[in-house]
Amino acid sequence: MRLGVLTGGGDCPGLNAAIRAVVAGASQKGYEVLGIRKGWEGLLTRDAVPLTWEDVEGIASIGGTLISTSRTNPARSPEATSTALENAERLGLGALVAIGGDDTLGAASHLQDRGLRCIGIPKTIDNDVGATDATIGFDTAVNVAMAAIDRLHTTARSHERAVLVEVMGRDAGWVALHAGVGAGAHMILIPEVEVNTESMAHYLVNRKRQGYTYAIIVVAEGVKRDGHQGLPDDKTVDEFGHPLLGGVTRIIADEMERISGIQTRYTILGYIQRGGTPTLFDRFLASRYGLAAVELASQGMFGHMVALRGRDIVSVPLADAVSKPRLVPRELYEGLSPLWLPDGTPLGPIPPGTPREWLPGPHPI
């Protein structure tokens, strides 16, 4: 058998470990491996390179992806789908291992239904792929975000300011929740729970009244305000129809400072979360996923995705994995909320007549 392997969507730490494991498992079974470059774009342009053990032996510790990636959608039109299927046949692919998030895996499911034998490996720092407990890249991303938030505590405390930290995650709040809890944030905002800026400002006022001089607020990039997600004036979408997110924290910070009078700053971590050296957990998980994907191919279990359930690697139908995203359950978010609302202060509106002298002064009341 000749296996193709591609990485689609945003890069993340651990992809190379998965590629390495696919090549290792395939070599053991006597299969060839073709690396499809630049994700689905490579299948549309027939851009592929042979991969041997010598090519991948030392790449497990390296971030990014050896075979590059892109946000290309082969299901965007019937013509693109036909081209992908024709090129897979010309390349002699017996099966294709698609390493990606819900968009990449959704495209794999689409092509599987049209005759291309596909196996999925879940990766995304967002950790939002359905039917699995963990995706490649998430553990590294949250550790990077947590370390950055740890550092912001000291400068926020020194200047007695509120500091908002924007993390990635698109429609899911897993990165914000894990990094925020780990770094002891004073408030965590996730897309699953709509933001009320006035309530947040009220919370800052109450913190100051109780003698706390600073606050760290973690904001997921996909938070919703007044029913809107993303920047109000940005209607741009990617090839999969998703709005381009990032930067909403600036608007929230400006609104909070205007309402509360408390100095408020923001920082956006951005691609820092997606780059760099993968953690042990991501390297090990990616290696298990890669080997399991080859095993599925050898058993003829196409149209499936490898997944982590507890400590076990299992297989699930691709269609089930992409049917709905894995989001933060409301009960989990609320169950952890005492960690960032220890005084139990309700996040209601700022009471009328709040003395302004409580707000801008350099010392707590």
Q: Are 124 and 100 in contact (CB under 8 A)?
A: yes
**The tokens of 82 are what?**
């036909």
Q: At which residue do the structure tokens 């470990």 appear?
A: 17
User: Is 126 a catalytic site residue?
Assistant: yes
Q: Which residues of 118-131 are buried (b: 16+ CB within 10 A; e: fewer)?
A: bbbbbbbbbbbbbb
Task: Give, rounded to a whole angstrom, the gap between the first and last alpha carbons of the chain.
Answer: 72
H/E run at residue 155: helix 138-159
Phi, psi of 304 (to 5 degrees): -120, 160
- Locate 118 and state its tokens: 């596909």
Residue 239 region, left (φ>0) first, then alpha (ψ -120 to 50), else beta?
alpha
What is the number of residues in the chain? 365
Would you say 246 and 268 are in contact if contact means Cβ atoms under 8 Å apart?
A: yes
Check 126, 128, 171, 282 and give the catalytic one: 126
Q: Pull the structure tokens for residue 306.
A: 């490898």
CA–CA distance, 91 with 309 (Å, rounded to integer)? 34
CB 206 within 8 A of CB 359: no
The strand pair at 32-36 and 95-100 is best described as: unpaired
How many angstroms separate the Cα of 286 from the Cα of each of 95, 115, 128, 144? 19, 27, 16, 18
- Give the integer Cα–Cα distance in Å for 253 and 273: 21
- Which of these, 229, 235, 273, lies nearest to 126 by C-alpha position? 273
Q: How far apart are CA 37 and CA 53, in angstroms?
A: 17
Choose among 149, 192, 193, 187: nearest CA to 167. Answer: 149
* Angle made by CA atoms 104, 304, 142, in degrees to the nearest 5: 50
What are the residue numbers of the active site?
126
